[in-house]
Amino acid sequence: MLNILLPTDFSENATNAISYALNLFKKEKCTFFILNTYTPAITHSRFMAASAKGEILEKCVKETSEKGIVNTLNFIKTNHRNPLHHYKSISSFDLLIHEIVDIVQREKINYVFSGTKGITNFERVFIGTNTMRIIKAVKDCPVIAIPNKNYFEKPKQLLFPTDLKRSLSPEAVSALVFVTKIYKCNLHIMHIKNGNMLDKFQQSNLKILQNYFPTVSQSLHLLPYYANKSEIISAFIKDNNIDLMALTYNNRSYLEEIIKEPVIPKMDYHTKIPLLILPT
């Protein structure tokens, strides 16, 4: 039984991410935790929440949260009825990130899903702010970021860019192993070279990584560092019809480097496919 956390603000992005999660794990026994958090805005005083007016405001937003969760569950029953899936609802007066971290630990969550807008014409950002906060805060399980209007299709081509500087544990890549196995995906391992050859440590890490996928069709791509990593990855995604990209997150990971790079117009394909962020 998988435990999957689905935070929602009842937006189109969040609903789309929920639909993607339900489809991705359609054949798996799962408990889905539908989470909405609320924190009434305090406009007059930091102590307003304790006043009568503050209590009325809190009651109002609580009712809105609970009603939104009911509507979300009705949407699921109408569009994603599945005897393998069970649901628990959580409406919490708390900050989103605090509540997510607490639930991940308390309920032994296996995956957290987050809807993200990605790049828009108004704000050139790689991943939405809330999604990035979730990625930085959640250390114990994978986070899957679903771009807006990315509707579920069975993943066939998976990309895993890596600098091969870290030896990944079986637990770190277990989510990637799981998805590649159940969907019989082709796995593309990408390394963007700073030099001509891999050093012995990188070669060892590559062998360990490849051994985690003994029954999976996989290919290795050693690409020259001809531009920033965002450009290289985006071009590869476009040219190879990649459905899902996996990345690890730490202070020196590809994800951290990509976030800091300027986004190139017309080279934003990595923001149009789901991202599977692996714990390290």
Q: Does 280 map to a domain? A: no
pLDDT over 50 (residue 255): yes
Give the model's confidence band at 59: pLDDT under 50 very low, under 70 low, under 90 confident, else very high.
confident
Q: How far apart are CA 82 and CA 40, in angstroms?
A: 35
Percentage of the chain modeled with pLDDT above 90: 64
pLDDT over 50 (residue 200): yes
What CATH number has the domain bearing residue 264? 3.40.50.620
Give the model's confidence band at 150: pLDDT under 50 very low, under 70 low, under 90 confident, else very high.
confident
Q: Does 17 map to a domain? A: yes
Q: Does 258 map to a domain? A: yes
Please tell me the total count of domains within the chain: 2
For 4-22, the pLDDT digits (tens) are: 999 999 999 999 999 999 9
- pLDDT at residue 53, rounded to an integer: 61
pLDDT over 90 (residue 260): no
Please work out, in degrees rounded to the nearest 5, the angle formed at the alpha carbon of residue 249 by the alpha carbons of 259 and 121. 25
Residues 30 and 143 in one domain: yes
More confident residue, 197 or 77: 77
- pLDDT at residue 130, rounded to an integer: 82
Q: Does 279 map to a domain? A: no
Highest mean pLDDT among 101-115, 190-204, 253-267: 101-115
- Which H or E element spans position 36? strand 30-37
Q: Does 215 map to a domain? A: yes
| Residue 11 near residue 5, CB atoms below 8 Å | no
Range list of β-strands (E), 70-164: 85-92, 111-116, 143-147, 157-161
Q: Average pLDDT over the chain, rounded to whole?
A: 86
- pLDDT at residue 82, rounded to an integer: 98
For 180-196, the pLDDT digits (tens) are: 999 999 999 999 987 77
Average confidence (pLDDT) over 162-166: 90
* Interstrand relation of 186-193 and 217-224 (parallel, antiparallel or unpaired): parallel
Q: In sequence order, what are the beta bridge partners of 35?
A: 7, 90
Select from 108, 115, 104, 93 the least CA-distant residue to 138.
104
Residues 165 and 125 in one domain: no
pLDDT over 80 (residue 267): no
For 74-124, the pLDDT digits (tens) are: 999 999 999 999 999 999 999 999 999 999 999 999 999 999 865 443 333
- pLDDT at residue 108, rounded to an integer: 97
- pLDDT at residue 212, rounded to an integer: 96
- Which H or E element spans position 82? none
Residues 189 and 135 in one domain: no
Q: How far apart are CA 45 and CA 85, in angstroms?
A: 44
Residues 192 and 128 in one domain: no
- Which H or E element spans position 73? helix 52-79
Alpha-carbon distances of 45 from 50, 122, 198, 266, rounded to whole Å: 10, 33, 59, 46
Phi, psi of 124 (to 5 degrees): -85, 85
Residues 212 and 126 in one domain: no
| Residue 30 near residue 83, CB atoms below 8 Å | no
Residues 99 and 187 in one domain: no
Please work out, in degrees rounded to the nearest 5, the angle formed at the alpha carbon of residue 70 by the alpha carbons of 69 and 71. 90
Residues 10 and 119 in one domain: yes
- pLDDT at residue 204, rounded to an integer: 97
Q: In sequence order, what are the beta bridge partners of 6?
A: 34
Other Cβ atoms closer than 10 A to 175: 20
- Which H or E element spans position 262? none
DSSP letters spanning 92-118: ESS-HHHHHHHHHHHTT-SEEEEEE--
Residues 180 and 244 in one domain: yes
Q: Does 126 map to a domain? A: yes
Average confidence (pLDDT) over 187-215: 93
Among 147, 170, 197, give the residue marking a domain's end. Answer: 147
Tokens at 165, concatenated: 């500087």
Residues 9 and 143 in one domain: yes
Q: How far apart are CA 47 and CA 278, in angstroms?
A: 40
Among 112, 147, 182, give the residue marking a domain's end. Answer: 147
Q: Does 23 map to a domain? A: yes
- pLDDT at residue 241, rounded to an integer: 95
Residues 180 and 263 in one domain: yes
Alpha-carbon distances of 91 from 18, 60, 67, rounded to whole Å: 16, 13, 10
Average confidence (pLDDT) over 125-135: 73
97: domain range?
2-147
Give the model's confidence band at 71: pLDDT under 50 very low, under 70 low, under 90 confident, else very high.
very high
Its pTM stands at: 0.88
Q: Does 152 map to a domain? A: no
- Which H or E element spans position 181? helix 170-183
Residues 123 and 24 in one domain: yes
- pLDDT at residue 264, rounded to an integer: 41
Average confidence (pLDDT) over 47-59: 63
pLDDT over 80 (residue 54): no
> How large is the greatest C-alpha to C-alpha distance in the chain, in angstroms?
69
Among 100, 117, 147, give the residue marking a domain's end. Answer: 147
Residues 112 and 239 in one domain: no
